Amino acid sequence: MKIMALLLMMLALLQGCASSSDDEFMCGSVASYITPPTADNLYRVVVTHLDGQAVISRPYYKLTAGKHTFTLAELIESPELKVKLAARQTKKLDIVVEREQRYHLAAELKVDKTYTGLNSDYWQPVVWKQASYECVFTDKMG
């Protein structure tokens, strides 16, 4: 009788595991490796932090679905940019990552007026492109 009860408990546990969704292996991606169109005043960025943790910048990040915060440094090379080096500060961008989507990051140079001196408002981080992307974690570690 005890063996039968133990087997039923094990079977119930296994069924619970088997019925768990594959969602934990689904992911999205955020990328900064494609050069955005400078004709649209868009420039490359470097990721310095992801969800508050310092990272070594890489071409893309495979992430679980949900909100993620990126800290970005701009790589704007434009003759219109007249701010001092000290004004070139990092900025944060929140992205709600959806499964099987890739988001491409950029720095948008604001051209509504001339920015000079220590004015750091000359750019904003943006998602300039979103596309479908088949993304699956190969294991729980990504």
Domain assignments of the chain as residue spans, ordered by start? 23-132
pLDDT of residue 80: 83
> Radius of gyration of the chain from Cα atoms?
22
Torsional sign, CA 79, 80, 83, 87: negative
pLDDT of residue 127: 98
What gap in Å lies between CA 104 and CA 124, rounded to an integer? 14
Please report, in tens digits, the pLDDT of each residue of the chain (142 residues total).
555 443 344 434 334 433 345 556 679 999 999 999 999 999 999 999 999 999 998 999 999 999 999 999 999 999 888 999 999 999 999 999 999 999 999 999 999 988 999 999 999 999 999 999 888 776 544 4
Q: 72 and 93 in contact (C-beta within 8 Å)? A: yes
Q: What is the pTM of this model?
A: 0.78
138: which residues sit within 8 A by CB, 6+ positions away? Answer: 25
Q: Residue 21 carries which DSSP code? A: -
